[in-house]
Amino acid sequence: MTIFKCKMCGGDLIIQGDATVGECECCGTRQTFPRLDNDKKVNLYDRANHFRRNSDFDKAAAIYEQILNEDKDDAEAYWSLILCRYGIDYVEDPVTGKRIPTIRRAQYTSIFADEDYKSAIEKASPEQKVVYEEEAQTIDNIQKGILAISEKEEPFDVFICYKESDDNGQRTVDSVLANDLYHQLTQEGLKVFFARITLEDKLGQEYEPYIFAALNSAKVMVVLGTKPAYFNAVWVKNEWSRYLSLIRLGQKKTLIPAYKGMDPYDLPEEFSHLQAQDMDKLGFMQDLLRGINKIVNEDKLKNANKNIDSAKQQAINTNEIALIKRGKMALEDREWNKAQGFFDDLLSHVNAECAQAYFGQQLAEIKLSNRQEFINYFLNKYSESKVVRRLAGEVATDRINATIEKYAIKDYLEAEVLLNLYVYYRGYDTELDSLNQLKADETAELNSMKNLARAKQYASGEFKKELDEALKTISDALDTRIAEATARDNDNIARITSEYAQVLDAADAKALELYNEAESRRNAEYMSIINRMNTAATVPDFTECHERFSALGNYMAAAVMANNCTVEINKIYEHERMVREQELAAQRAEEERLRIEEETRLANEEKARKKRKLIIILSAIGVGIIAIAALVLYLVFGR
């Protein structure tokens, strides 16, 4: 909710949400709202509208321009510039009590041709557009009434600009000085606009047609004042600033500042390039009158000389008309060289600035008989356009990449699958490029026609109207087609943009669906591996689980579980190593036992062998002893 000042009465308005149109509770007037998205903008609008409601249109316009510098799409700012340009003041209708527009700065240009009006309509919301168009129609009707009245006014020679009343409603010294100047100028035979007298029988709301007529007709404006504040008073500045605008637009006018009892450096900055007159200076009035008479009478003298020359011109015109007719007849007979001869004679001997002769030469040059053939020549030559294909908008690359990065799951939902969801052909047929090229070529050809350029340069009166209409017909033909093609392109772009937005939304939803499905499969795979790992007992079992966990990457605790598989595999390898070492130790122990057993067996066999040998020896010894004993006995006793 934003509080905004009514642009008509200054009352407080409460703007709800994004509303662009509403009704003021204070004055009951339906009006448009700007887009107020920050406090700075609210303050700028309140300040600008304050100046505009107080008829200080130039200050207000400067602030609206500042708003547009920050937001080129603000329709209300464009509309507000129009209100300043046309000096729109909202006055209370005594019958309805509502505020109705009054023009304080009439223009010759219709509001509907104003570029700011066109921008306001282009940028406006549908609700704003209705209000702008209705109010523009009201302003246009008022302006037409002002112009109708002003056209009936006789032209003025001098416009006296001054402040009539002070803040207390009393007559100013400036008013008295202006009155003296008015009488001095009228005695010189000049027609002078002096509001106190010129508008004395007019109502306040009826002043503008007469002020407008005087500003546009007066050759000289005298802005006089005795205080800096009086020079910058709202209605005084409104008059002299409008007059300066006419000068800047190229009109031959002269503005003369005249001051009294003040420092000339306190004059408005806009007067810095002008020669100001000091009313305290001796001989001021004589110098001023002489200067004004010189400016005004110079133009009158020129007009008088024109009247003297008109008789001579009439005789020349007779020959000119005859040669033009003969030239046209030759064109119709398609005798191009003959036609050029007539027109050459006219330009060389009668009138070197005859627009019709130059146009006739141009027709003969391109072998055309009349203005209609000239029109048809261009309409036919630049009618064939080419249709090409163009892409609307840009691919939503960032959005698509963000979705892929968010939802792609290796081995479960590949990036390519997601990318295919967003495929949408944004092409449409257009002839706009071709039409613009035709327009450029047509313009280039028209600009290259030197005789046509001369004809346009010197054309006047009815012929100028006819030539302008012909060129407008030529220009409008392509302009209309370009506008229609632009509208079609805009429709296609809007349609494709809308469809693409729907495709993107649908793709986002499908991507999420596929992601959930892939996530479900991945989770199932994860739980399957967990179950497999819980029953694993061998290295191949754990190796399989490790590979499946590794394929899941950083999903849940997959990396940790893969590491646990590695730990289990290492444990199995360690257990197998220990078993092998135990078996090897047992084998070595057995071998040692067998070795010792063999050594013991061999030792025992050696002992037995030695024992047997000893027995044999002892047996042998015993036998020998017995033999010896027997021999002894034999020897002893035998004999």
| Average pLDDT over every residue of 615-633 | 79
Instruction: Kindly write down the DSSP assignment for every residue of 150-179, as one continuous string.
Output: HHTSPPPSEEEE---B-TTSPBPHHHHHHH
**Mean pLDDT, all residues of the chain:** 87
| Average pLDDT over every residue of 396-412 | 92
Phi and psi at residue 123, in whole multiples of 5°? -90, -10
State residue 17's pLDDT score: 63
The confidence band for 266, taking pLDDT boundaries of 50, 70 and 90, is very high
Q: What is the rounded radius of gyration, in angstroms, for the C-alpha atoms of the chain?
A: 55
How far apart CA 128 and CA 286 sit, in angstroms, is 56
| Average pLDDT over every residue of 169-181 | 93
Q: What is the pLDDT of residues 582-620, one digit of tens each?
A: 999 999 999 999 999 888 999 898 888 888 888 888 888
Q: What is the pLDDT of residues 131-151, one digit of tens each?
A: 989 999 988 888 888 888 878
Which residues, 6+ apart, have CB-to-CB distance to 548 below 8 Å?
Answer: 525, 529, 532
Q: What is the pLDDT of residues 468-487, one digit of tens each?
A: 999 999 999 999 999 999 99
Give how far Cα 370 sits from Cα of 20, 116, 178, 321, 351, Å: 54, 39, 59, 16, 21
Share of the chain above pLDDT 70, in %: 94
The residue whose two tokens read 């040692």 is 592
Q: What is the pLDDT of residues 103-132, one digit of tens each?
A: 888 887 888 888 999 999 999 989 889 998
Report pTM. Answer: 0.46
Instruction: Identify each DSSP E strand in 179-318 by its residue range.
Output: 192-194, 220-225, 254-259, 277-278
| Average pLDDT over every residue of 187-204 | 85
In this predicted structure, the answer to whether residue 347 has a pLDDT above a threshold of 70 is yes
State residue 638's pLDDT score: 61
Residue type present at position 258: A
- Which of the two residues, 22 and 551, has the higher pLDDT score? 551
| Average pLDDT over every residue of 47-67 | 89
How far apart CA 249 and CA 242 sit, in angstroms, is 11
Share of the chain above pLDDT 90, in %: 50
In this predicted structure, the answer to whether residue 99 has a pLDDT above a threshold of 60 is yes
State residue 554's pLDDT score: 86
State residue 514's pLDDT score: 94
The confidence band for 315, taking pLDDT boundaries of 50, 70 and 90, is very low
The confidence band for 302, taking pLDDT boundaries of 50, 70 and 90, is low
- Which of the two residues, 25 and 85, has the higher pLDDT score? 85
- Are 419 and 413 in contact by the 8 Å Cβ rule? The answer is no
Which domains are present in the chain? 2-151 (no CATH), 158-281 (3.40.50.10140), 320-498 (no CATH)
207, two tokens: 């002043």
